[in-house]
Structure 1
Amino acid sequence: MHSFMNAKAMAKLLRQALGERHIDITHSDSLELVSRQFGFANWNMLSARIDRAIAGSGPLPDGWFKAGKSPQLYDTRIDQENGATALIASRPDLLDEVRGDDFCTIMQSVDAEAFRHRRMRLAGELRTEDVGTGATVWFRIDGAGGTLLFDNLELQRPDGPLVGTQDWAERSVVFDVPDTALSLHYGFFLKGTGRCWARRFSLVEVDASVPTNSRKGPVLPRPTNLDFGRPAAH
């Protein structure tokens, strides 16, 4: 089911369909027609409504911004009622459109120069309410050719994403920052429906006693149980 957030794509399809029937209209005319289908007087009013939906319902903490696969489906803001936390919440009016792989993140990007050759631990505390797919922190290091290191804990058991309703819990990712790193990106995200609060983020150097995430997760030392004959231990 389409919503007003899909208006531009719908206008393009409408114009193509009419063109196949030898009815030529401009792109602007197509946008105006779609706007009226959604009950708006004109495209300017619908466009302003889309911009408000993308921006969310309130200001974010300084230095942080909203991103993700489908940020228009989520509200984001500072939640002062819960101790100056940051909140991501699926929009009540758009719940029918949220799929399990839709997600929104509140994130930050910084220059990597001061962190090269250092083992850095990104950590934050999360609390969730009625989360469908999961909520977690994530950390990515980029170089000239793209992503060098990335982890969002989705393969971690335990200490992976929070699901359902859970009280404050810390999650962290540890990386050795390569000398080819250009930028660091990190934050927390909500995937699917629900609400997630975050607080007490930190990015600090740790010593060699703290293992990096490259040593964690379901990475086996050698191929194992390829015939599926041995059940997992409980």
Structure 2
Amino acid sequence: MSDFPAPKTMAKSLRSALADQDIFISHGQSLEVVARQLGYANWNVLSARMDASEAPAIALGMPAGWVPCGRYSGKHFRTGIDPDMRGVAVAEAIAKRGIPGDSFAGLMQSISAEAYRGKRLQLSAQLKVREAGVGTIWMRIDPVAGRRSLGFDNMMRRKSKGALSGDSDWTERAIVLDVPEEAYSIHFGFFLQAPGIVWARDFRLEAVAEDVPVTGDRDLPSGPTNLNLF
């Protein structure tokens, strides 16, 4: 990724250089220092951007407050405001071939979790897809740097009301995650896995009642199943 000069490598080198002077810091502390050197408040914010490997090859206007995200996106996608639809963002695969199977592109935001701690948070939006591999929204709840995320959902594993594929008109989708007291930051957005196009509009992020079911890949079943392997 061209926007970040290998931050993890920088952190490793910094830690090694300090150790040569008998100054010892943890890997997490080193990551925090590098994040601040690159102009970010902390490592969580930087790491949330690190998948945004390059700016899209064909630029569109960018909605205020949003940034590109993705993997291997620079040569294969364009993202931004759809010039033909007011209030609509788009991620489009522009390469006809040679797109890596794990590549994706979209837009995202990162915000402080402070106002949402102890609450159940719902992200909702409307999506529309055309000839799409996958079009979806996502949300992640992070603690302080160096620890595993506290919650994540990108709708990819759902059996119903999940990510969209192929062709679909405007469809409402929602993600619901709990925000623990130790949460530090919240990251959310939408993306496309090639091929095709996904459009997104009417994003809403709001606290909801406890009777709204939580979604996400880490939900566990209430008990074991098929222990006899039949």
TM beyond 0.5: yes
Residue 148 of structure 1 aligns with an amino acid whose one-letter code is L
Residue 112 of structure 1 aligns with an amino acid whose one-letter code is A
Deviation beyond 4 Å, 4+ runs, structure 1: 214-217
Residues 60 and 67 of structure 1: CA distance in aligned 2, closer, same or farther (over 3 Å): same
Q: 2:81 maps to what in 1? A: 78
Residue 85 of structure 1 aligns with an amino acid whose one-letter code is V
**1:120 and 1:153 mapped to 2: Cα distance?**
15
Residues 53 and 187 of structure 1: CA distance in aligned 2, closer, same or farther (over 3 Å): closer
Q: Secondary structure at the match of 2:155?
A: coil
1:59 aligns with 2:71: no
Q: How does 1:108-147 map to 2 (within 5 A)?
A: 108-132=109-133, 134-144=134-144, 145-147=147-149
Q: How does 1:211-222 map to 2 (within 5 A)?
A: 211-213=213-215, 219-222=220-223
Instruction: Kindly indicate whether the alpha-carbon contact (under 8 Å) linking 1:56 and 1:77 is maintained by their aligned counterparts in 2.
Output: no
Q: How does 1:16-55 map to 2 (within 5 A)?
A: 54=56
Structure 2 unpaired stretches of 5+: 3-52
User: What's the CA shift string for 1:135-194, capped at 9, x where partnerless?
Assistant: 111000111124111110111111111000100111111111111111100000101211
**Alignment RMSD, CA only?**
2.3
Q: Report how many aligned residue pairs link the two structures.
A: 176
Structure 1 unpaired stretches of 5+: 6-50, 230-234
Residue 59 of structure 2 aligns with an amino acid whose one-letter code is S
Q: Secondary structure at the match of 1:114?
A: helix
Q: Secondary structure at the match of 1:175?
A: strand
User: What's the CA shift string for 1:87-137, capped at 9, x where partnerless?
Assistant: 00001xx221213321112100001111111111011100000002x1111
Once the two structures are TM-superposed, the CA of residue 212 in structure 1 deviates from its matched residue by: 1.1
Once the two structures are TM-superposed, the CA of residue 80 in structure 1 deviates from its matched residue by: 3.7
User: What's the CA shift string for 1:187-228, capped at 9, x where partnerless?
Assistant: 0010121100000000011111211115997x4333323555
**2:58 and 2:211 mapped to 1: Cα distance?**
41
Q: Secondary structure at the match of 2:64?
A: coil
User: What's the CA shift string for 1:66-103, capped at 9, x where partnerless?
Assistant: 01112212111211422320000001xx2212133211
Once the two structures are TM-superposed, the CA of residue 55 in structure 1 deviates from its matched residue by: 5.7
Q: How does 1:70-219 map to 2 (within 5 A)?
A: 70-72=72-74, 73-91=76-94, 94-132=95-133, 134-144=134-144, 145-213=147-215, 219=220
Q: 1:224 maps to what in 2? A: 225
Q: Which structure would you say has the larger Rg? A: 1
Instruction: Kindly indicate whether the alpha-carbon contact (under 8 Å) linking 2:151 and 2:218 is maintained by their aligned counterparts in 1.
Output: no
Residue 137 of structure 1 aligns with an amino acid whose one-letter code is I
Residues 183 and 215 of structure 1: CA distance in aligned 2, closer, same or farther (over 3 Å): closer
**1:117 and 1:172 mapped to 2: Cα distance?**
19
**1:52 and 1:154 mapped to 2: Cα distance?**
24
Q: Secondary structure at the match of 2:189?
A: strand
Instruction: Kindly indicate whether the alpha-carbon contact (under 8 Å) linking 1:156 and 1:216 is maintained by their aligned counterparts in 2.
Output: no
TM-score by length of 2: 0.70
The alignment-based identity, stated in percent, is 36
